[in-house]
Structure 1
Amino acid sequence: MAAVTEKRRVLYRQGSGFWRMTAKWALAFGVPYLLDGGLLRSWGDALVWPMIGILLWVPFGIGVVWYPRKDQLVTLTAGELRVRRKRLPMEKVNLLHVARLWLEGRSTADGRPVAEWARLDRVVWVPLLDGRAFGVEIRDPAAFAKVFGAFAVAACGGPDVVRARAAVSTYPDPLPMRPRRSADGDGSWLDLLDVFE
């Protein structure tokens, strides 16, 4: 999950997972093709396996091509959260709120326990200092919340400091922002959010 680069320490990174899924798909139908052609029947008869794989993959592939966030790259570093080409400096993020909720075992903005997150719930809300919160689509939201929460606790000075600051600090509860479509109509909802620079 974590990697070290020359310029910055990457805490979390995710891509679309398209090629990884395609490779698994090819392996799942390639192995029966090799076994069937080499051991059981002829290579001509074994061609049914890759044909089935292609026929089943085509709808999935078309859906991915049409999916507006298929190439969404999410990178979390100590200085910023990057979604595709947009960057959100950590100075704008309410890290105290993230750290406090993480110490309580809850998520970043909606207050649900992380252990209750389902894999289908893929939006993680990132709270801002101005009281807003925007959603980032994450393939594994629990893994992202774990990394983000641990980073926020460390950035705020540790668990004891977080509890002490949370007891005396007041800030508005994060209010999720509704997504807006880009002016150029490319289907991306994060491009024009003014929280990014």
Structure 2
Amino acid sequence: MTTTNKRKLLYRQGTGFWRMTAKWVLVFGALSLLDGGLLRTWGDAVVWPLIGIVLWVPFGIGIVWYSRKDQWVRLTTRELYVRRRRLPMEDVNLLHVARLWLEGRSTADDQPVQQWIRSERVVWVPLLDGRAYGVEFRDPAAFAKVFGAFAVAACGGPDIVRARAAEAAYPEPRPMRVRSAGGGSSSSDVLDLFG
């Protein structure tokens, strides 16, 4: 956990572009060293970096032009940032988040968070007005764990959350319909609730 502008940074997710590039360089660099050092001459081993570059270029261009290439997600104690937009915590139904987390859930489905696989998956962020905003994560369980623990602590602890949830009367959050980027919609269609 780090501190940014006196706000605790609880969770950060980048695009993974540089991580992918670093892995690509390591793999083809290792192949080049192995080939040149053990199997053939260094002149022949130059082929591996060239193959790596030729294969990387379409993937690199695809990620740079990908519609969600700037899907940076940051959760602080005061705001949730998605694609350079922010959702203040005072608009989030933290009591509902905390209650779901204590039940082992953190989204619109009934599968426990511990059973979520590491892949892109939507985690729903419930709002006080009854809507729920979905954010996609490569490791959704990691975000759900951090967000759930933060919500429980912000609401005063597990006992207070259970007591307040038993008495609270708020609408069950309704997931907003997320329109696909290929359907001619812009990023503002999905992020219209961010001010």
TM (norm. structure 1) is 0.89
Matching of residue 103 in structure 1 with residue 102 in structure 2: yes
Structure 1 runs of 4+ with >4 Å offset = 189-192
* Aligned positions of 1:6-25 closer than 5 A: 6-25=5-24
Cα 1:146/1:124, change in 2 over 3 Å: same
Deviations 1:23-74 (A, max 9, x none): 1111011012022213321112112221232233233223212311112211
Percent of residue pairs bearing the same amino acid type: 74
Give the corresponding residue for 2:175. 176
Which shows bigger deviation, 101-110 or 54-63?
54-63
Deviations 1:85-126 (A, max 9, x none): 211000110111110010111123434311222223422111
Deviations 1:123-162 (A, max 9, x none): 2111101110111121211100000000000000000000
Matching of residue 117 in structure 1 with residue 129 in structure 2: no
Q: Is the 8 A contact 1:110 1:125 kept in 2?
A: no
Give the corresponding residue for 1:157. 156
Which shows bigger deviation, 56-65 or 12-21?
56-65
Supply the distance in 2 between the matched residues of 1:18 and 1:168 (Cα, whole angstroms). 46
Which shows bigger deviation, 59-68 or 15-24?
59-68
Supply the distance in 1 between the matched residues of 2:185 and 2:129 (Cα, whole angstroms). 28
* Aligned positions of 1:2-41 closer than 5 A: 2-41=1-40
Q: Is the 8 A contact 1:181 1:187 kept in 2?
A: no
Q: Is the 8 A contact 1:109 1:133 kept in 2?
A: no
Q: CA RMSD in A?
A: 2.0
Gaps of 5+ in 2: none
Matching of residue 142 in structure 1 with residue 166 in structure 2: no
Shift of 1:190: 5.8
Larger helix share, 1 or 2: 2
Supply the distance in 2 between the matched residues of 1:141 and 1:181 (Cα, whole angstroms). 19
Give the corresponding residue for 2:89. 90
Aligned length: 193
What SS class does the counterpart of residue 157 from structure 1 fall into?
coil
What SS class does the counterpart of residue 88 from structure 1 fall into?
strand
Letter of the aligned partner of 2:77 in structure 1?
Answer: A
